[in-house]
């Protein structure tokens, strides 16, 4: 079972998209293990996006990410990392397919509503950045077995 890190960005909070974004992840069958509202600082953004710190747009990205509170979350499921990437859609909402969160709800690459981990390795790093092990709620859901091909096993 994989865990992935998802963060609703300041535009998602301000545009009242929290419920809709969480609903998409729940509908897919992913299970919410933890949630935390917080205000990021520049250091948080540098740690979340180490591959982007040298980009010309990075100062704008920092300004955007610290502009308001965000909602950090941990989600669990079979193949959760890739499944969540696909639910979000391409980085640039102009290119994201209709039916994806970014494709349906956003217009600008600099305001694309939500972040999620791009690999299992990065998901572990990103979860560690924002959550302590004691904050991750492992639990069974009675409906969870019906996400499997052989629920009785
Ligand atoms: P993703 O968020 O799909 O994993 P990423 O890790 O390449 O994409 O980039 C992280 C964020 O940085 C992205 O969600 C929005 C911002 N960003 C990426 N490319 C950008 C660009 N060319 N101009 C402005 N912002 C950009
Ligand atoms: Mg990324």
Instruction: List, chain by chain if needed, residues with CB within 6 Å of any ligand 1 atom.
Output: 49, 52, 57, 61, 91, 109-110, 112, 115, 118
CB 111 within 8 A of CB 64: yes
Fold classification of 2-144 is Alpha-Beta Plaits (3.30.70)
Buried b (16+ CB within 10 A) or exposed e, 32-43: ebbbeeeebeee
Tokens 């933890």 correspond to 34
Percent of the chain with pLDDT over 90: 97
Question: Which candidate, 36, 4, 2, places its Cα nearest to that of 18?
Answer: 36
pLDDT range class, residue 14, cuts 50, 70, 90:
very high
Domain ranges of the chain: 2-144
How much is the average pLDDT of 69-76?
Answer: 99
pLDDT surpassing 90 at residue 142: no
What does the block give as tokens for 41? 């600082």
Q: Nearest residue CA, atom 19 of ligand 1?
A: 109
Residue 104 has pLDDT above 90, yes or no: yes
Residue 133 CA, ligand 1 centroid: distance in Å: 28
**CB-count burial class (<10 Å; 0-12, 13-18, 19+) for 15:** middle
- The pLDDT score that the predictor gives to residue 143 is 87
CA–CA gap between residue 122 and residue 48 (Å, rounded): 9
């Amino acid at each position: 079972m994989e865990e992935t890190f998802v963060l609703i960005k300041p535009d998602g909070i301000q545009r009242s998209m929290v419920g809709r974004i969480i609903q998409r992840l729940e509908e897919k069958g992913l299970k919410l293990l933890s949630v935390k509202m917080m205000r990021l600082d520049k250091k948080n953004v540098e740690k979340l996006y180490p591959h982007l710190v040298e980009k010309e747009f990075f100062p704008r990205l920092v300004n955007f990410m610290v502009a308001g509170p965000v909602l950090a979350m941990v989600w669990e499921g079979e193949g959760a990392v890739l499944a969540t990437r696909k639910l979000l859609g391409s980085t640039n909402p102009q290119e994201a397919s209709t039916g994806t969160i970014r494709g349906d709800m956003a217009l600008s690459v600099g305001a694309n509503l939500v972040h999620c981990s791009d690999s299992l390795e990065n998901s572990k790093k990103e979860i560690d950045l924002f959550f302590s092990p004691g904050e991750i709620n492992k639990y069974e859901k009675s409906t969870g077995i019906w996400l499997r091909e052989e629920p009785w096993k």
